Amino acid sequence: MKLMVINPNTTRSMTDTVVEAARKVARPDTMIIGGTPSSGVPSVESHYEEVYGALGVIDQVRKGEEQGIQGYVVACFGDTGVPAARELANGPVVGMTEAALMTAALIAHRFTIVTLPRRTIAHSERVVQALGLSHRCTVRAVDVPVADLEGGSAHLAGIFAEQVRADDEALILGCAGLTDLVAPLTARLGRPVIDGVTAAIPLVEGLIAQGLTASRVNTWRHP
Amino acid sequence: MKLMVINPNTTRSMTDTVVEAARKVARPDTMIIGGTPSSGVPSVESHYEEVYGALGVIDQVRKGEEQGIQGYVVACFGDTGVPAARELANGPVVGMTEAALMTAALIAHRFTIVTLPRRTIAHSERVVQALGLSHRCTVRAVDVPVADLEGGSAHLAGIFAEQVRADDEALILGCAGLTDLVAPLTARLGRPVIDGVTAAIPLVEGLIAQGLTASRVNTWRHP
Amino acid sequence: MKLMVINPNTTRSMTDTVVEAARKVARPDTMIIGGTPSSGVPSVESHYEEVYGALGVIDQVRKGEEQGIQGYVVACFGDTGVPAARELANGPVVGMTEAALMTAALIAHRFTIVTLPRRTIAHSERVVQALGLSHRCTVRAVDVPVADLEGGSAHLAGIFAEQVRADDEALILGCAGLTDLVAPLTARLGRPVIDGVTAAIPLVEGLIAQGLTASRVNTWRHP
Amino acid sequence: MKLMVINPNTTRSMTDTVVEAARKVARPDTMIIGGTPSSGVPSVESHYEEVYGALGVIDQVRKGEEQGIQGYVVACFGDTGVPAARELANGPVVGMTEAALMTAALIAHRFTIVTLPRRTIAHSERVVQALGLSHRCTVRAVDVPVADLEGGSAHLAGIFAEQVRADDEALILGCAGLTDLVAPLTARLGRPVIDGVTAAIPLVEGLIAQGLTASRVNTWRHP
Amino acid sequence: MKLMVINPNTTRSMTDTVVEAARKVARPDTMIIGGTPSSGVPSVESHYEEVYGALGVIDQVRKGEEQGIQGYVVACFGDTGVPAARELANGPVVGMTEAALMTAALIAHRFTIVTLPRRTIAHSERVVQALGLSHRCTVRAVDVPVADLEGGSAHLAGIFAEQVRADDEALILGCAGLTDLVAPLTARLGRPVIDGVTAAIPLVEGLIAQGLTASRVNTWRHP
Amino acid sequence: MKLMVINPNTTRSMTDTVVEAARKVARPDTMIIGGTPSSGVPSVESHYEEVYGALGVIDQVRKGEEQGIQGYVVACFGDTGVPAARELANGPVVGMTEAALMTAALIAHRFTIVTLPRRTIAHSERVVQALGLSHRCTVRAVDVPVADLEGGSAHLAGIFAEQVRADDEALILGCAGLTDLVAPLTARLGRPVIDGVTAAIPLVEGLIAQGLTASRVNTWRHP
List alpha helices for C3-95, DSSP H: 12-25, 47-66, 82-88
Angle at C61 between CA C56 and CA C64, to 5 degrees: 130
Q: Per residue in F51-63, pLDDT tens?
A: 999 999 999 999 9
Q: Quick check: F128 pLDDT over 90?
A: yes
Average pLDDT over residues C167-192: 96
Interface test with A, best of B30, B82, B86, B106 (most A CBs within 10 A): B106
Check whether residue D191 and residue D107 sit in a common domain. yes
Task: Write down which chains contact chain B via at least 3 CB pairs under 8 A.
Answer: A, C, D, F
Q: Per residue in B181-214, pLDDT tens?
A: 999 999 999 999 999 999 999 999 999 999 999 9
Check whether residue F142 and residue F152 sit in a common domain. yes
Number of H helices, E strands in chain F: 8, 8
Burial class (CB within 10 angstroms; exposed 0-12, middle 13-18, buried 19+) of E213: buried
Residue F77 lies in a domain: yes
CA distance A62 to A83: 14
Are the C-beta atoms of D14 and D74 separated by less than 8 Å?
no
Residue A219 lies in a domain: no
Q: Per residue in A116-157, pLDDT tens?
A: 999 999 999 999 999 999 999 999 999 888 778 777 788 889
Interface test with F, best of A41, A47, A57 (most F CBs within 10 A): A47
pLDDT of residue C153: 83
Angle at F110 between CA F108 and CA F116, to 5 degrees: 105
Q: Which residues of E touch C110 (CB under 8 A)?
A: 122
Are the C-beta atoms of F169 and F140 separated by less than 8 Å?
no
CA distance D57 to D35: 8
User: What pLDDT band is residue F153 in, cutting at 50, 70 and 90?
Assistant: confident
Pairwise CB contact (< 8 Å): C191 & D131: no
Interface test with A, best of F47, F87, F143 (most A CBs within 10 A): F47
Does A146 lie at the interface with F, CB-CB under 8 angstroms?
no
Decide: F and C in contact? Rule: 3+ Cβ pairs under 8 Å.
no
- Amino acid making up residue A156: L
Are the C-beta atoms of B25 and A210 separated by less than 8 Å?
yes
CA distance B174 to B113: 6
User: What pLDDT band is residue A95 in, cutting at 50, 70 and 90?
Assistant: very high
What domain count does chain E have? 2
What is the complex's ipTM, to 2 decimals?
A: 0.97
Q: Which residues of E touch C166 (CB under 8 A)?
A: 118
Does D167 lie at the interface with B, CB-CB under 8 angstroms?
yes
CA distance A170 to A154: 19
Does E135 lie at the interface with A, CB-CB under 8 angstroms?
yes
Closest chain A residue to E135 measured between Cα atoms?
A: A134
- Amino acid making up residue A133: L
Task: Name the residue among A121, B80, A41, F108 with its Cα closest to residue E218.
Answer: F108
Interface of F with E in 40-99 (CB under 8 A): 92, 94, 98
pLDDT of residue C65: 98
- Average pLDDT in chain F: 96
Q: H or E element: which one contains F72?
A: strand F71-74
Assign 3-class secondary structure to B155-166.
HHHHHHHHCCCC
- Average pLDDT in chain E: 96
pLDDT of residue B144: 84
Check whether residue C163 and residue C112 sit in a common domain. yes
Are the C-beta atoms of A109 and B220 separated by less than 8 Å?
yes
Pairwise CB contact (< 8 Å): D119 & E218: yes
Strand-strand pairing, E137-141 and B111-115: unpaired
Check whether residue C25 and residue C80 sit in a common domain. yes
Check whether residue C184 and residue C203 sit in a common domain. no
* Residues of chain C above pLDDT 70, percent: 100
Task: Name the residue among F94, F92, F136 with its Cα closest to residue F113.
Answer: F136
Q: Per residue in E17-68, pLDDT tens?
A: 999 999 999 999 999 999 999 999 999 999 999 999 999 999 999 999 999 9
Does C129 lie at the interface with A, CB-CB under 8 angstroms?
yes
Q: Per residue in E70-120, pLDDT tens?
A: 999 999 999 999 999 999 999 999 999 999 999 999 999 999 999 999 999
Residue D220 lies in a domain: no
Residue D112 lies in a domain: yes
Closest chain D residue to F108 measured between Cα atoms?
A: D122
User: What pLDDT band is residue F152 in, cutting at 50, 70 and 90?
Assistant: confident
Who among E54, E119, E219 is closest to D219 (CB)? E119
Does D16 lie at the interface with E, CB-CB under 8 angstroms?
no
Q: Which residues of B touch C118 (CB under 8 A)?
A: 218
Does F220 lie at the interface with E, CB-CB under 8 angstroms?
yes
Count of C-beta atoms within a 10 Å radius of residue D206: 28
Task: Give the DSSP letter string of chain E.
Answer: -EEEEE-SSS-HHHHHHHHHHHHHHS-TT-EEEEE--SSS-S---SHHHHHHHHHHHHHHHHHHHHTT--EEEE-STT-TTHHHHHHH-SS-EEEHHHHHHHHHHHH-SSEEEEESSGGGHHHHHHHHHHHT-TTTEEEEE----GGGGTT-SGGGHHHHHHT--TT--EEEEESTT-GGGHHHHHHHHTS-EEEHHHHHHHHHHHHHHTT-----SGGG---
Does A167 lie at the interface with C, CB-CB under 8 angstroms?
yes
pLDDT of residue E41: 96
Check whether residue B124 and residue B204 sit in a common domain. no
Interface test with D, best of C74, C215, C219 (most D CBs within 10 A): C215
CATH of the domain at E125: 3.40.50.12500
DSSP-assigned letter for residue C180: G
- Average pLDDT in chain D: 96
Number of C-alpha atoms within 13 angstroms, CB side, residue F115? 24
Q: Quick check: E147 pLDDT over 90?
A: no
Q: Which residues of B touch A108 (CB under 8 A)?
A: 214-215, 217, 219-220
Sheet strand arrangement including C93-95? C31-35, C2-6, C71-74, C93-95
Boundaries of domain holding B76: 2-95+199-209
User: What pLDDT band is residue A223 in, cutting at 50, 70 and 90?
Assistant: very high
More confident residue, C150 or A173: A173
Who among B102, B203, B212 is closest to A192 (CB)? B212
User: What pLDDT band is residue D144 in, cutting at 50, 70 and 90?
Assistant: confident
Burial C84-117 (b: 16+ CB within 10 A, else e): bbbbbbebbbbbbbbbbbbbbbbbbbbbbbbbbb
Check whether residue B71 and residue B106 sit in a common domain. no
pLDDT of residue E155: 86
Sheet strand arrangement including A31-35? A31-35, A2-6, A71-74, A93-95
Q: Quick check: B162 pLDDT over 90?
A: yes
Q: Quick check: C2 pLDDT over 80?
A: yes
Check whether residue F105 and residue F62 sit in a common domain. no
* Residues of chain E above pLDDT 90, percent: 93
CA distances from D72 to A187, C60, C100, C209, D208 (A): 59, 37, 20, 19, 11
Are the C-beta atoms of D89 and D65 separated by less than 8 Å?
yes
Number of C-alpha atoms within 13 angstroms, CB side, residue E216? 10
Residue A223 lies in a domain: no
Does F199 lie at the interface with A, CB-CB under 8 angstroms?
no
Q: Quick check: F90 pLDDT over 90?
A: yes
Average pLDDT over residues B91-116: 98
How far is the alpha carbon of F157 from chain D, nearest alpha carbon, in Å? 27
pLDDT of residue A151: 74
How far is the alpha carbon of B58 from chain D, nearest alpha carbon, in Å? 27
Check whether residue E191 and residue E101 sit in a common domain. yes
pLDDT of residue B143: 84
- Residues in a beta bridge with B139: B113
Does D219 lie at the interface with F, CB-CB under 8 angstroms?
no
Q: Quick check: E149 pLDDT over 80?
A: no
Residue A113 lies in a domain: yes
Assign 3-class secondary structure to E162-173.
HCCCCCCCEEEE
Check whether residue E130 and residue E189 sit in a common domain. yes
Are the C-beta atoms of D202 and C202 separated by less than 8 Å?
yes
Q: Per residue in B24-65, pLDDT tens?
A: 999 999 999 999 999 999 999 999 999 999 999 999 999 999
Check whether residue C120 and residue C185 sit in a common domain. yes
pLDDT of residue B217: 97
Residues whose CB is less than 8 angstroms from the CB of residue F4 and which lie 6 or more positions away in sequence, other chains included? F32, F33, F34, F35, F60, F61, F64, F67, F69, F71, F72, F73
- Average pLDDT in chain B: 96
Who among B47, B88, B219 is closest to C84 (CB)? B47
CA distance B101 to B99: 5
- Amino acid making up residue B96: M
Average pLDDT over residues D6-35: 96
Angle between the F12-25 and F196-209 helix axes, to the nearest 10 degrees? 60
Check whether residue D62 and residue D148 sit in a common domain. no
Chain centroid offset of residue E153 CA: 16
* Residues of chain F above pLDDT 90, percent: 93
Are the C-beta atoms of A61 and A89 separated by less than 8 Å?
yes
Query: Alpha-carbon dihedral of residues E138, E143, E145, E148, nearest 10 degrees?
Result: -100
pLDDT of residue A147: 78
Does B129 lie at the interface with D, CB-CB under 8 angstroms?
yes
Average pLDDT over residues E113-131: 97
pTM: 0.97
